[in-house]
Structure 1
Amino acid sequence: MLDAGLKTQLQGYLQNVTQPVELVASLDDSAKAAEMKGLLEDIASVSGGKVSVRLDGDDARKPSFEIRRTGTDIFVTFAGLPLGHEFTSLVLAILQVGGHPPRIEADLAEQVKALDGDFLFETYFSLSCQNCPDVVQALNAMSVLNPRIRHVAIDGALFQGEVEDRKIMAVPTVFLNGESWGQGRMGFEEILAKIDTGAAAREAEKIAAKEPFDVLIVGGGPAGAAAAIYAARKGIRTGVAAERFGGQVLDTLAIENLTGTPHTEGPKLAADLERHVRDYEVDIMNLQKAARLIPGKQPGDLIGVELENGATLKSKTVILATGARWRQMNVPGEAEYRNKGVAYCPHCDGPLFKGKRVAVIGGGNSGVEAAIDLAGIVAHVTLIEYDGKLRADEVLQRKLKSLKNVDIITSALTTEVLGDGGKVTGLTYNDRGTGTSHTVELEGIFVQIGLVPNTEWLAEGGVALSPRGEIEVDAKGQTSVAGVFAAGDATTTPYKQIVIAMGEGSKAALSAFDYLIRLAPAEVEAQAA
């Protein structure tokens, strides 16, 4: 099942197992069950006796297996073969059940251990989803820390009957004690905050008590991470308030144009960015969404950033790096059927539409790439483009047009998402040439029409915005407000690319430092008072 190279790597990892582990399989006579048996036996064969296999499991889901600490009630469950993006989740689960501590801050681990109640989580994932491992790994770690938390990770493509019954049309989808609980990427801290209902108030109180920063960065994507590193290296007090560290990079699959890194994936890059930032004395405040900017009355005054939880952070300078998000169609039915057939990540959710008909909205590179990917999974793809022609690179267009199960419709304006109350059943569009309306029957719609900057919260902060809502910046990253700088996809800087965001974030940090050292001594003393 596993090749020789992977077995050698796995053998090295399993040396960290300190307590015996049993892999308890519940199998049927399917081909997948035979593959699972082979996988588990391969793992045990390189464990040096630390991992054993049992074939007497009685789980109703077959094929599935438990990873159990021998003689205890500590275990996690996988229903399906956790390969692809989930292979790392499998290895981590074995290590953690086997006594190797999760890489979690001590206060968060104690918070999990103190949770009162019985929690049964079920996470539906797909092997091609880059967002799913974060959820699977977080809930697995929690179940190891607190035995009253149970977690089952379920391959939606293998258990399609459950997916249909539970009307799951996006991954990851999480159920808690049998009820729908959450969808989409969630990290450890976010899941914990959602379980522990008192955590937000405690965190707000903690944040409100913080001393003013020299530079406060709002946003934790490539621009924010680069700004934090450059600021911290100057020896100044640096803070980062981020809704989710990594930003939109977390939703990106393959990255092949980052200079010096021929290939990486978004979640890995995001983890690398956070790890690099944490090498310095940076105060990272995750899961914090900015609500309002409070500029100083004159240059040199402290600047405030009010968060949605009610706390206000203060700083001598602020760098805005809030990035952008997927643009929505804003047509009737889109919001109602989001995650019920309307999706924005073809890599994550594509496998759930196997054998079905879908549409891709958008004829740029992202839209055409999505249509090509989906054509290998679904029965049929209809690509709908507003313009009179596709805007993607010619090589992508040639590939798309060679596919037999793809239709391309140009000069078309999508006007409505149709559904039966539970799921998408089609869409309507207007032919911009003739004005006639048409209906396409389908089960899924993947929206790929660009980005919109996350700047709505700046409406009252005095920061000048472009007609597109982007933060206007000069060559140094300075905004229209003294002491407030900006970088990345939220700004007017052209070309929304990771490498450009990193450069702009670095520049903004250097500009903020230059601003600080040029403040008059009296102004510095006033801020410190």
Structure 2
Amino acid sequence: MLDANIKTQLTAYLEKIRQPIELVASLDGSEKAGEMWALLQDIAALSDKVSIRNDGVAPRKPSFAVARAGEPARIRFAGIPMGHEFTSLILALLQVGGHPPKAEASTIEEIRAIPGTFHFETFISLSCHNCPDVVQALNLMAVLNPGISHEMIDGALFQDEVTSRQIMGVPTVLLNGEHFGQGRMLLEEIVGKIDTGALQREAEKISAREPFDVLIVGGGPAGAAAAIYAARKGIRTGVVSERFGGQVLDTLGIENFISVSQTDGPKLAAGLEQHVREYDVDVMDLQRAEALLPGSDGGPSEIRLASGAKLRSQTVILATGARWREMNVPGEKEYRGHGVAYCPHCDGPLFKGKRVAVIGGGNSGVEAAIDLAGVVAHVTVLEFDSILRADAILQKKLFSLANVKVITSALTTEVTGDGKKVNGLVYTDRSSGEAHRVELEGVFVQIGLLPNTEWLKGTIALSPRGEIEIDARGETSLPGVFAAGDVTTVPYKQIVIAMGEGAKASLSAFDYLIRSSVT
């Protein structure tokens, strides 16, 4: 099951296990069960602290649990955790085996103190790059707290259950059988949802902080670059972000980041955060900004957060980025996560053998259609313009696929469903004015970006597209307030450009500080 190189690396990891663990399998006669048993045998052969047995009692087969010898299992994998989830398996082996987790001491103690019984189930796809964060967070919680258990479920392997439970997006998390959350969630975010007092305590801690010299709102490439440049100047620097990494976390292949021939979004985001934390930067993650109150007479500005916390700073850099643009048609919001999706690589495997549509004929839309064509039965691409706008090489690949149909001059007007999931869409032919219906099970929206500036309306100058207007130095219409990245009017929304703009805004903020009479 495992090749020689992986076995060598895994052997080194397993040497960190301190307490004996056992892998308890529940198998059936399927081919996947044979692969799973081979994987468990390979692992057990690499460490004398790992044993395996097959008890066959779990309701989901094939599956296996990871437990300390002599203790009830609280972590289970219903599926073969390879691909993106192989790291989740390694961490589960180490943490169940007593290797200390890499988490804040305060968070660990908070998890251990949570009362109650919580059984989490996470439906994933092995190609999803956001799923491992959720799986690893919940596994860690199960290791730390006897009242918490977690099971990872490969949706492609348990397709009947995915269909019966109307799960059409990953990761989807159930808590005690009820919907808990969908999409990427960090450890602290999950803890905050089940420990209701955690949010208030964190808000009080944040509000108690002294004013910053520069406060960056946003933790994407622009925000990270701004934080590093500010910290290197020796000034008091803070970063407040809704999720560190921003939209980069939802980007899979990155092949145009200069000097790095290929990487992926989660890996780049982790590198950004690691680099920022090497400096004296106060990072406040999982915090959404709700209002900006500009300072007067050179005084500090105030940022109010959704948690109720307040932060003050002599200068502010806005780097809140952008998000996927929605169609804003009937049915889109109603069926989000039930057939309407925005990440084809994550959610594509859930539509295996089904008919889907991709809305948008730019590079993102055509790339999504090409990706999906290898998994689904049929892809319909709908483009508002009279021609596709994707690069010629992508169009050539698209038109070579037999299970793809392209419709141009198409205005999508409605997503339809049966009350539980998508069953089609309606579009208008812009040339003839005729309405048409397409029967399908999934709709992937790929029509560009929308700046995250709703909270700034009426406070700062915005363009007609909602972007923050800046000058060549990153200055906004408010003194002492700067902006950078995809949230601004700077053309070409690219990671490398956002980083440069973040550095520029930080240098401008520092220049503002040294030229202003600030106490």
With structure 2 as the length reference, what TM-score do the two structures score?
0.99
Which residue matches 1:230? 229
| TM-aligned CA deviation for residue 195 of structure 1 | 1.1
* Unaligned segments of structure 2, at least 5 residues: none
Q: Deviations over 1:169-195 (max 9, x none)?
A: 000000000111111110111111111
| TM-aligned CA deviation for residue 208 of structure 1 | 1.2
Deviates more, 1:256-265 or 1:441-450: 256-265
Matched, 1:14 2:11: no
C-alpha contact 2:74 2:148 (8 A) present in aligned 1: no
Which residue matches 1:338? 336
2:24 partner letter? V
C-alpha contact 1:292 1:460 (8 A) present in aligned 2: no
2:129 partner letter? Q
Matched, 1:256 2:255: yes
> In 1, Cα distance between the equivalents of 2:491 and 2:292?
24
Deviates more, 1:67-76 or 1:205-214: 67-76
Out of 435, 452, 455, the position equivalent to 1:454 is 452
> In 2, Cα distance between the equivalents of 1:338 and 1:442?
15
| TM-aligned CA deviation for residue 256 of structure 1 | 1.1
> In 1, Cα distance between the equivalents of 2:506 and 2:72?
50
1:25 partner letter? A
2:150 partner letter? H
Which residue matches 2:486? 489
| TM-aligned CA deviation for residue 75 of structure 1 | 3.5
Which residue matches 1:502? 499
Which residue matches 1:358? 356
SS in 2 for 1:260: coil
> In 1, Cα distance between the equivalents of 2:222 and 2:506?
10
TM alignment of 1:286-325, pairs within 5 A:
286-298=285-297, 300-325=298-323
Deviates more, 1:115-124 or 1:8-17: 8-17
Matched, 1:91 2:90: yes
TM alignment of 1:98-113, pairs within 5 A:
98-113=97-112
Which residue matches 2:4? 4
Q: Deviations over 1:442-491 (max 9, x none)?
A: 00000000000000111132x21111011111111111111001101000
1:165 partner letter? S
| TM-aligned CA deviation for residue 247 of structure 1 | 0.5
| TM-aligned CA deviation for residue 106 of structure 1 | 0.2
Q: Which runs of 4+ in 1 moved over 3 A?
A: none
1:335 partner letter? K
SS in 2 for 1:495: coil
C-alpha contact 2:123 2:154 (8 A) present in aligned 1: yes
C-alpha contact 1:358 1:445 (8 A) present in aligned 2: yes
Which residue matches 1:400? 398
1:128 partner letter? S
| TM-aligned CA deviation for residue 440 of structure 1 | 0.2
* Unaligned segments of structure 1, at least 5 residues: none
With structure 1 as the length reference, what TM-score do the two structures score?
0.97
TM alignment of 1:142-153, pairs within 5 A:
142-153=141-152
SS in 1 for 2:15: helix
C-alpha contact 1:74 1:144 (8 A) present in aligned 2: no
> In 2, Cα distance between the equivalents of 1:208 and 1:418?
46
| TM-aligned CA deviation for residue 74 of structure 1 | 5.4
> In 1, Cα distance between the equivalents of 2:432 and 2:478?
48
1:369 partner letter? E
1:229 partner letter? I
Which residue matches 1:511? 508
1:387 partner letter? D
Deviates more, 1:36-45 or 1:53-62: 53-62
> In 1, Cα distance between the equivalents of 2:502 and 2:7?
41
> In 2, Cα distance between the equivalents of 1:331 and 1:436?
17
Percent identical among aligned pairs is 71
Q: Deviations over 1:88-114 (max 9, x none)?
A: 111111111111111100000000000
| TM-aligned CA deviation for residue 297 of structure 1 | 2.2
Which residue matches 1:213? 212
Which residue matches 1:53? 52
Which residue matches 1:383? 381
C-alpha contact 2:65 2:73 (8 A) present in aligned 1: no
Q: Deviations over 1:333-362 (max 9, x none)?
A: 100000000000001100000000000000
Deviates more, 1:274-283 or 1:214-223: 274-283
